[in-house]
Every structure is written in C-alpha cells, then in structure tokens.
Amino acid sequence: MKAHLSRRYHFSASHRLHTDAYDAERNRVVFGKCNHPHGHGHNYTVQVTVSGQVDPATGMVCNLAELDAFAQAHVVERFDHTNLNTLECFRHTVSTTENLSVEIYRIFQSFTAAHLERVHVEETSNNSFDFAGDAQMMAGTI
Amino acid sequence: MIFLTRKAEFSSAHYYWNEAWSPEENQRVFGKCANRNGHGHNYTLEVTVAGEIDPTSGFVVDLKELKEILDREVVSVYDHRHLNLEVPEFKSAIPTTENIAIAIWGRLENKIPHAKLHRVRIYEMPDLFADYYGEV
C-alpha cells in the first residue's frame, strides 16, 4: 500500500532580497524592508513529503534515519547559520523562499530511497511555499 | 465537494521489531525504536472527509457524530495502550507511522455516513507525520 511520509527540518539563515536587474529605488519599492542593505534572518522550516509502497518487512516507506541523515547533510548543514545570498545557488537568483523551495526540491531529488512528492518551506509562521516540481524541472532545465 | 478535517489525540507505546530478523538486524534497521521495553508518543490524528453540503443542516457530516466515530473506532482502542501488545492489527504489522495511518483508514472506511473518507494523517510528533489516501 502506498503511503506518504512527511518530515520537518529546521534551520536559521539570513538573506536580503535584491536584484541587480533593478536600480536601487526599484529594489526598495519591490522588496520593501526585505531589501534593507544589511539583510535580516528567519527560522526556516522545511517539510519534505516522500511516498512509496510500505515495505512489509519494516512498515516503512523509507528508513527515517536515512532521510534524516540526508536532510541533515545536504539541507540543514548547507543552509543553517549562513547568509543565503552568499551561496552559489543564489548567485544569479533572488533568495526568496520560492527560489529556496525550488533549490531544496532539487536537493531532495538526489534522495532515491522514496519518491519525492513535494517540499513545503515556511519562512515565518505566516509565509510558506510549496514546490512539487514541474515539467521544465523534470527535463533538467533548471 | 468540500473537505472537512477533524482532529483527535491519543497517547500510546510501541516498538519496532521484525520477528523474522535477528536482534542485530532489528537494531541496525530500527535503532532506538527497537528497544523492546517500548517508548511512546502523543499522536495527533487528522481525519479528512469529503462530501457535499447538506442544504438543510449546512453540514458535510455531523461533527459530533464524526467525533464519536473517531473516539469509538480509534481513540478508545489506541489511547494509553501498547500498540504492539494490545492492538490486534499490530500483531502482524509493525506500528510505524505509515502502518498506523493505514490501520486507522481500515478502521474508519465505510463507517462515516454521508461522506467519503479522503485522508488519514497521523502525527507521531510535530515534525513527523504520515498520510494515507486509501491507495493500494
């Protein structure tokens, strides 16, 4: 039987929303306080959902310890207590949580023990973003 | 079609153990969950049903009735019990979060009048939950 398993992970990071494609005034107008020059930070929560057949021997979609180890090594360690804007993945894109969700989805695609359904990223308790892949992404164009 | 979700809570003990495996293999796969003295969680159950709104009552289902069904079929059986030792479906299935979701689906399917069971979501803790949609 096919079940979905979701697990939440936490990290804290700073960022600043800014694009070189806009002048300073337009950056201020579009990004508001998120464009303040020295950045600001959030406690992010990543909720990843994977699915698959429940293995009768283990009762599991996948081994949670493996998922935790993957998330710790490739997501938490990578983003926790960093400035997102300094990371390679945000060199050419704005460090919005939309773009962060896409990056985290891309990372979890390398976890092969279960099928990746979606990632849900909470920037604050009032803002959250979901990404479940799309045709372009599947084709490897992102 | 509208979806309605009702929560319920229960607290239970369990452990993970596959009798077909050696103690070493159980320990390797299940880690601290394989401690045969068991451990426990406060589980939160979210049951989502789907249906049409009754034009007279404005309800998809009578919430009081749904609460009684969850209490009777699940909470009264699982709460303050050892899932491996006291709940029949876990004689043959390891009480993982995934299997608990599937078992609760089995307990609720066809028991809810006027609405279709859509999803069983079970939180073992706030950062871990499983969903079952009745899929084979």
Q: Which of B20, B30, B98 sits opposite A54 (nearest CB)?
A: B98
Q: What is the pLDDT of residues B91-134, one digit of tens each?
A: 999 999 999 999 999 999 999 999 999 999 999 999 999 999 99
Chain A residue at shortest CA distance from B96: A59
Question: Is residue B114 annotated as a catalytic residue, yes or no?
Answer: no
Neighbours of A6 (CB within 10 A): 21
pLDDT in tens for each of the 142 residues of chain A? Answer: 999 999 999 999 999 999 999 999 999 999 999 999 999 999 999 999 999 999 999 999 999 999 999 999 999 999 999 999 999 999 999 999 999 999 999 999 999 999 999 999 999 999 999 999 985 555 544 3
Distance CA B114, CA B48 (A): 13
Question: Which of A11, A58, A61, A76 should we substitute to test contact with B (largest number of B Cβ atoms within 10 Å)?
Answer: A58
Nearest to B48 by CA among B135, B106, B126, B131: B131
pLDDT of residue A137: 56
Question: Is residue B80 annotated as a catalytic residue, yes or no?
Answer: yes
CB contact under 8 A, A6 and B130: yes
Distance CA A109, CA A133 (A): 10
Place of tokens 């899932």: B83
Residue A106 maps to which CATH number?
A: 3.30.479.10
Print the domain residue range for A65: 2-138
Q: What is the pLDDT of residues B18-50, one digit of tens each?
A: 999 999 999 999 999 999 999 999 999 999 999
CB contact under 8 A, B20 and A9: no
Q: Which residues of A are catalytic, by number?
A: 34, 81, 123
- Chain B contact for A43 (CB, 8 A cutoff): no
Question: Domains plus CATH for chain B?
Answer: 2-132 (3.30.479.10)
Backbone angles phi, psi at A15, to 5 degrees: -165, 170
Mean pLDDT of chain A: 94
pLDDT of residue A136: 57
- Chain B contact for A59 (CB, 8 A cutoff): yes
Domain tally for chain A?
1
Distance CA B9, CA B12 (A): 10
Chain A residues within an 8 Å CB radius of B102: 1, 3, 54
Q: Which amino acid is residue B49, in one-letter code? A: V
Chain A residues within an 8 Å CB radius of B131: 3-6, 49
pLDDT of residue B115: 95
Q: Which of B31, B93, B136 sits opposite A65 (nearest CB)?
A: B31
Neighbours of A46 (CB within 10 A): 22
Question: Is residue B41 annotated as a catalytic residue, yes or no?
Answer: no
3-state helix, strand, coil in chain A (%, to 5): 35, 35, 30
The dihedral region occupied by A81, where left means phi > 0, alpha psi between -120 and 50, and beta the remainder, is left
Distance CA A73, CA A80 (A): 11
Distance CA B122, CA B104 (A): 9
User: Considering the entire predicted model, what is its pTM?
Assistant: 0.90
Chain B residues within an 8 Å CB radius of A59: 16, 93-96, 98-99
Place of tokens 């896409």: A102
CB contact under 8 A, A54 and B99: yes
